[in-house]
Every structure is written in C-alpha cells, then in structure tokens.
C-alpha cells in the first residue's frame, strides 16, 4: 500500500516514539525505515475524566510525541515524522493497563475470562506543524479460563508488559476465540490505518 510513497518516506527521518517491540515489528512489516526513540512522558492522565477511551489514548499518544519532539529539537536532531501510539484494554468502562506484577495479571485475566473486551489504540503522526490523529478499536472475545490455566500463563512472564495482561501474538493468542477488527491493533498499532495516513503524509512531501 505504501508503494511508491515508501521511497519518499524512507528519504525522511522517521521516529517511532515507543519502546514497544511489537510496534517496531509491525512497522518493519511494510519496509519502513525508522529510528526508535522511546518517549519519556510520564503517563499521568486520568482515564476517568474521559467520556471515551479513544480520546484518552489519543491524548496520551499526543503527549508522548510532544515529549520526543521537544527532546529531539533541543538536541538539534529534529525529525521529519514522529509516530506515537497508546493502547489500552477496556471492559465495562474500566481500563486495563499493563499489570504491575503477577498478582495483578492473574486478577485481570480472571475478570476478562469468558468476556468480550475492547482494545483501543490512539495514534499520532507528526510532521512539522502537520498533525494527523486517529484511533482504532477491536473487540476481543476471550475464552473462559480456569484459575490453573491463568496462573500457568502468567508464570510464563508474557502478560507482564502488555495491556490487559496478554499478548495475542504469543501464547495469549490461544486464549482468544475470535476478534472483530484489526488484529495488529490488539498488538499495539493498527497497521492498515497507519499506512493509510502515512501515504497521505507522503503525498504532501512530494
């Protein structure tokens, strides 16, 4: 989808404002050349003040991008394009972030077991004064899980750095019956929507 815009984009300095290996892996799928500069933004926004979780992830992603842009500019290393994202799991109005420890991961998975939850990702693309923003949501149908299965999964360590306490691209994929929406969104970056907006941005750079 990026052809022939990919050549234009790869002549630019593109920064991924995230330390997520999943987001890095997703962007590499389309042959995009970029540098990784994880944001140091301390996530302090209160999701309870938002009527929509899509707005919450968009504001968090925007703050991540702003922090990286300010840091790069201060060092005289301004980027042409900065890509930032934030992902949360939501069910019954409650947000499930990354579990702090095994106990919290077990509790999260018990609550999600046999239920449908929604994964929201907000994405910000920044090029100079041009800012593109969009969000994606995917419904995830989790299979009913016994406490024994949950504890065994948590012991693998996979849930501890992932929103909702599971990874769809790993062992956690065996716990998911089906999804409605973008698979890559559940991983942390909606690939199709990102490509669509990058194409738009690339055309403006011609």
Which of the following is catalytic: 7, 59, 75, 86?
A: 86
Alpha carbons 102 and 144: distance in angstroms, whole number? 19
- Residue of 140, 158, 165, 163 lying closest to 18 (CA atoms): 163
- Residue of 64, 56, 203, 48 lying closest to 126 (CA atoms): 64
Q: Note if 86 is an active site residue.
A: yes
Give yes or no for a contact between 83 and 61, defined as CB atoms under 8 angstroms apart.
Answer: no
Classify each residue of 182-202 as buried b or exposed e, where b means 16 or more C-beta atoms within 10 Å of its C-beta. bebbbbbbbbebbbebbbebb
Q: Which residues contact 47 (CB under 8 A, 6 or more apart)?
A: 53, 56, 88, 95
3-state secondary structure of 184: helix
Give catalytic residues, as residue numbers.
86
């Amino acid at each position: 989808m990026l052809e022939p815009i990919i050549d234009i984009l790869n002549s630019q300095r593109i920064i991924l404002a995230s330390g997520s290996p999943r987001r890095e892996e997703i962007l590499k799928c389309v042959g995009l050349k970029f540098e990784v500069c994880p944001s140091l933004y301390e996530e302090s926004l209160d999701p309870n003040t938002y009527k929509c979780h899509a707005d919450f992830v968009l504001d968090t992603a925007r703050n991540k991008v702003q922090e990286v842009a300010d840091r790069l500019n201060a060092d005289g290393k301004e980027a042409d394009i900065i890509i930032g994202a934030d992902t949360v799991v939501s069910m019954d109005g409650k947000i499930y972030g990354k579990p702090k420890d095994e106990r919290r991961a077990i509790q999260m998975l018990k609550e999600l077991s046999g239920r449908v939850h929604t994964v929201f990702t907000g994405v910000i693309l920044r090029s100079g004064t041009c800012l593109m923003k969009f969000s994606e949501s995917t419904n995830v149908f989790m299979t009913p899980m016994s406490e024994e299965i949950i504890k065994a999964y948590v012991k693998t360590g996979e849930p501890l750095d992932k929103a909702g306490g599971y990874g769809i691209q790993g062992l956690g994929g065996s716990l998911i019956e089906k999804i409605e929406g973008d698979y890559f969104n559940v991983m942390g970056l909606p690939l199709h929507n990102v490509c669509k907006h990058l194409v738009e941005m690339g055309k403006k750079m011609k």
